[in-house]
Structure 1
Amino acid sequence: MADQPFSLTRPALPAPSRPGLLPVIVTYLEMTAPPAREPVRRPDGDLALLRANPPTWSFYRYLYDTVGEPWLWHERRRMPRKELERSIHDPLVEVWVLHVDGTPAGYAELDRRTRETDLAYFGLIPDFIGRKLGPWLLDSAIRKAWEGGAKKLVVNTCSFDHPKALPLYQSMGFVPTRHVMREVRDPRLDGVLPRSAGPHIPITE
């Protein structure tokens, strides 16, 4: 792992060093003051943003797995159940679930357990991508973070994520602070994720 020379633009992704590994560039961003802009317009329809307080393990895993499968989210699939429950049941961790017509459509997770409030996870269930829900959900999560007493708000996104993720964070007021290059074992090769996951990322064996 090595820090890359800083640029507002994410560096080019290198080739993997050997089969079975996936290069990934993680971009870290921060926001040091609440947004001064107007809130994002609420999309039309029957929308509700509700805190799962706390979520059950099975419901959380449904959200994490369904939102994250296209983008190779794998860390919490590997996490032992009791360890994950300790995290999501901590009162300083907030899981805000977007419902559209009564159906879960995405979520944002705020972790206040350190001095910096971390927007740990954010995303939409694939069925709801393309309906202009993402900017409103992200803006709502940002405002809830500051309303809840954040001193600084941080987030990271990586080259596995939707290509619009990094520009969206920046448009909301997050400023990139560093890029970190990593290589990870392809979770599809270990059965942590199905081989159909992350269709935009080729499997190398």
Structure 2
Amino acid sequence: MSITVTTWSLEQTSPADQRPAAAADQVRIVRAEVPSPEFSRFLYTAVGADIIWTDRLGMTYAEWEEVLTRPGTETWVAYENGTPAGYAEIEAQDEGSVEIVYFGLIPAFRGRRIGGHLLSEAVARAWDLAERWPDREPTKRVWLHTCSKDGPHAMDNYQRRGFTLFDTKVTEEQETPTPGPWPGAYS
């Protein structure tokens, strides 16, 4: 069975486009400075399981490591009172473009104003990426995509943070069972 999926691509083309959200209480956002395939896979499955993130599930340890150790790739993690609540993975690309490749919250932490705060920090870190990676050119554009399978507040959060739509695509995809962070998590 197939489903129709709409994918929206959004961007900021200047640091002046940023519209930060207020900080969330008891939330710290920290860069995971040691690339860890185990930790990143945990975040990926914990955040993306119920919205059917599956593109990285088949990756090997070595493939995860290769992605995470690319120059200009960073993982930023939101912690609420010491517990991981969500994350953003940013990746430098050619010509000063930085993509927010993954962004989201673990389901138990959604709807608590953490997403706006985390997104604001991820965008700020994307704009100042060249300060931490001197071999990268300065950021000229920050972009991301979201789709109709993502949470109901995703698009609104991106637009409230200053992103504007630059592309829309509609595709047919095979329906995928919700993988869950572990077998049977959503049965």
**TM-score scaled by structure 1?**
0.78
Maintained 8 Å contact 1:119/1:155: yes
Mapped to 1, the partners of 2:98 and 2:18 lie a distance apart of 20
Maintained 8 Å contact 2:50/2:179: no
Mapped to 1, the partners of 2:111 and 2:178 lie a distance apart of 30
Maintained 8 Å contact 1:74/1:193: no
Mapped to 1, the partners of 2:18 and 2:33 lie a distance apart of 29
Residue 79 of structure 1 deviates from its aligned partner by 2.4
User: What residue number does 1:77 align with?
Assistant: 57
Mapped to 1, the partners of 2:178 and 2:118 lie a distance apart of 33
- Select which of 134, 141, 145 maps to 2:115: 134
Residue 137 of structure 1 deviates from its aligned partner by 0.6
Asked if 1:86 corresponds to 2:70, the answer is no
Maintained 8 Å contact 2:19/2:160: no
Identity of aligned residues (%): 35
Mapped to 1, the partners of 2:53 and 2:179 lie a distance apart of 14
Residue 22 of structure 1 deviates from its aligned partner by 2.4
User: What residue number does 1:122 align with?
Assistant: 103
Residues 5-38 of structure 1, C-alpha deviations (whole Å, 9 max, x = no match): xxxxxxxxxxxxxx2x222111011110113666
For the pair shown, the structure with the greater C-alpha radius of gyration is: 1
- Select which of 164, 168, 172 maps to 1:179: 168
Mapped to 1, the partners of 2:108 and 2:182 lie a distance apart of 19
Structure 1 stretches of 4+ with a deviation exceeding 6 A read: 189-193
Aligned residues: 178
Unaligned runs of 5+ in 2: 130-137
Mapped to 2, the partners of 1:158 and 1:194 lie a distance apart of 25
Query: What are the equivalent positions in structure 2 for 1:20-39 lying under 5 Å apart?
Result: 21-35=2-16, 39=20
Unaligned runs of 5+ in 1: 1-18, 200-205
**Cα gap change, 1:178 to 1:95, in 2 (>3 Å):** same
**Cα gap change, 1:37 to 1:59, in 2 (>3 Å):** closer
Asked if 1:162 corresponds to 2:155, the answer is no
**Cα gap change, 1:192 to 1:114, in 2 (>3 Å):** farther
Maintained 8 Å contact 2:49/2:179: no
User: What residue number does 1:49 align with?
Assistant: 29
Residues 82-135 of structure 1, C-alpha deviations (whole Å, 9 max, x = no match): 222100122310000111111111001110033310011110111111211110
Q: What letter corresponds to residue 100 of structure 1 in structure 2?
A: E
**Cα gap change, 1:194 to 1:186, in 2 (>3 Å):** farther
* RMSD of Structure 2 on Structure 1 (CA): 2.4
DSSP-derived class of the 2:123 partner:
helix
DSSP-derived class of the 2:28 partner:
strand
User: What residue number does 1:6 align with?
Assistant: none
Q: What letter corresponds to residue 98 of structure 2 in structure 1?
A: T
Residues 32-53 of structure 1, C-alpha deviations (whole Å, 9 max, x = no match): 01136664221222x2211112
**TM-score scaled by structure 2?**
0.85
Residue 194 of structure 1 deviates from its aligned partner by 5.7
Mapped to 2, the partners of 1:139 and 1:186 lie a distance apart of 32
Maintained 8 Å contact 2:51/2:151: yes
Mapped to 2, the partners of 1:101 and 1:163 lie a distance apart of 25
Residue 190 of structure 1 deviates from its aligned partner by 9.1
Residue 191 of structure 1 deviates from its aligned partner by 9.8
